[in-house]
Amino acid sequence: MRSKLDRRRFLLKSIGATLALPGLPSLMAKEAGAKSAVQMAKGAGAGTNRFVAIGNLLGFQQKSFFPETVGAGYETTTLLQPLADIRKHMTFYRGLDHGLRGGHFAVHSFLSGVLNSEAKNRPEGNVTIDQYIADEVGFETRFPSLTVGSESGIHGGCQIAWTKAGVRVPPITGPAELFETLFVNDTPERRTQRKKENSLESSILDLVLEDANRLSKKVNHEDKDKLDEYFTSIRDVETRLELRKRWTDQPKPEAPIEKPTDSNLVEDLPLLYELIALALQTDSTRVATLEIGGDFLPQNLGIDKSYHGLSHHGNDEEAIKNLIALETYQIEHFGKFVNRLAGMKDGDRSLLDSTAVLFGSGMGNANSHTNDDLPIILAGGGYRHGEFRKVEAKGPHKVPLCNLYLEMAHRMGVEIDSFGTSTGTFV
């Protein structure tokens, strides 16, 4: 029985229905079916809430990032200078983190609060807040979420997004691929082929579920836990397949720009931000993540050093100067993205009013490999902004960053009692 199950699982992977794909709500088809095909093709997202997260792998220079003065009258630090003209749209936080250690290996907990190594001990693993939200609201758009990043660099490429099954979401790796994903329709021949693949995958899923259900009656307790995880993965594929079927014959939005070409993450960063903004505007998705790291090469900014090597600066003034140049560039383009959303209309408000944009890192101080006191900026989303907030510990414990994530999930209409390591909603 087990060998037959393995063969069918292999068949699923071989035709593209990887069991690790993010899941969607079990009622997806029923709820999405309430929308007409015309509505879904054109996008019906005006006024709905959206979420974007941008993560940096190597953090920011804390002394040049955090202000000293709290409240609306905070001073503009070196790294916050590019955001001076739009500070009314954002809130800066200090004192939030996940209470984790692990240096580079803990960076990937940025949006989850949970180390990968501890995921198996938790009911929902190390699912990240973007994927949690996408599981609840993603059925309304062609793409439940978009994950953008690099597949090169330290520790195995982009790892900003993780599913409830504990699987990394593979990223879209450049502006050309992101453009094609959003705006290039399949040929009639390819659509026909996709329908055949969908039908075949549905048949294989039915067989896999039949075998797995039969097997579940024979296994011990330990194996049953493993089988339950497998059922979760199958359901992920099943709901993803239903979404794919629904959108097979629906045309994508007309491209408002020419197709870009890939260059490098430094030069591509403005294009990636623009395409994410267009994805939100066309209601192709309401959840997106972007990870900056990997192949973000200092050489493209005239700095003949490695980004990772510079981050371990040992208080060398020249290295810190170069890092500030790299970090200023990243913050500058984040600011332009925020400003771009502020200038896009979304019904009777701006797209920024509809979109909560989180910017930060799972690394507090790369030089000392610490993951506390994380740099966090929240922009847009209809929140009251314009302040620097230093979050003080309540009693013996710090306020978890996941408290902020829980509040953001609530703002997205996801009614959950907790997320990650949260202890309550953020105040």
Torsion of CA 14, 19, 23, 28, to 10 degrees: 50
- Does residue 117 share a domain with residue 63? yes
pLDDT for residue 237: 67
- Does residue 20 share a domain with residue 126? no
Q: How far apart are CA 415 and CA 1, in angstroms?
A: 40
Residues in a beta bridge with 379: 90, 357
DSSP H helices, 217-264, are: 221-247
DSSP SS3 for 289: strand
Please measure the distance between the N-terminal and C-terminal CA atoms of the chain and give it in whole angstroms: 53
Give a yes or no: residue 423 inside a domain: no
Tokens describing residue 244: 């794919």
- Does residue 197 share a domain with residue 178? no
> Whose CA is closest to 141, among 46, 16, 264, 1?
46
One-letter identity of residue 117: S
pLDDT for residue 18: 42
62 CB-near residues (< 8 Å, 6+ apart): 364, 365, 373, 375
pLDDT for residue 256: 93
* Per-position DSSP letters for 338-367, written without gaps between them: HHHHHTSEETTEEHHHHEEEEEEES-SBTT
- Does residue 372 share a domain with residue 291? yes
pLDDT for residue 222: 64
Q: Is the dihedral of CA 381, 382, 388, 393 positive or negative?
A: negative
One digit per residue, the tens of pLDDT, for the chain of length 427 reads 445 445 444 444 443 344 433 333 332 333 444 433 333 333 457 779 999 999 999 999 999 999 999 999 999 999 999 999 999 999 999 999 999 988 888 999 999 999 988 888 888 889 999 999 999 988 889 999 999 999 876 667 899 999 988 889 999 999 999 999 999 987 777 666 766 666 666 666 666 667 667 767 666 766 666 666 666 666 666 666 677 677 777 899 999 999 999 989 999 999 999 999 999 999 999 999 999 986 888 888 999 888 888 888 888 899 999 999 999 999 999 999 999 999 999 999 999 999 999 999 999 988 888 999 999 999 999 999 999 999 988 777 889 999 999 999 999 999 999 999 999 987 5
- What is the domain-level CATH number for residue 104? 3.40.720
Give a yes or no: residue 119 inside a domain: yes
Give a yes or no: residue 425 inside a domain: no
Contact 129, 409 (CB under 8 A): yes
Residues in a beta bridge with 169: none
Q: How far apart are CA 174 and CA 262, in angstroms?
A: 6
- Does residue 290 share a domain with residue 228? no
Residues in a beta bridge with 90: 379
Contact 392, 123 (CB under 8 A): no
- Does residue 198 share a domain with residue 166? no
Between β-strands 345-346 and 146-148, what pairing exists: parallel, antiparallel or unpaired?
unpaired
- Does residue 272 share a domain with residue 204? no
Tokens describing residue 399: 């306020």
pLDDT digits (tens, 9 = 90+) for 173-198: 999 999 999 999 877 776 667 666 66
> Whose CA is closest to 109, among 124, 126, 130?
126
- Does residue 223 share a domain with residue 99? no
Buried (b) or exposed (e) across 261-275, using 16+ Cβ within 10 A? Answer: eeeebbebbbbbbbb
- Does residue 210 share a domain with residue 74? no
- Among candidate residues 234, 250, 266, the one where a domain is terminated: 250
Question: How many domains does the chain fold into?
Answer: 2
- Does residue 195 share a domain with residue 180? no
- Does residue 203 share a domain with residue 178? no
Give a yes or no: residue 417 inside a domain: no
Residues in a beta bridge with 112: none
- Among candidate residues 250, 271, 301, the one where a domain is terminated: 250
DSSP SS3 for 196: helix
Sheet containing 355-361: which strands, arranged edge to edge? 146-148, 287-292, 50-56, 355-361, 376-380, 90-94, 388-390
pLDDT for residue 38: 34
Q: Which helix (H) or strand (E) holds 380?
A: strand 376-380
- Does residue 290 share a domain with residue 149? yes
Parent domain of 199: 1-34+189-250
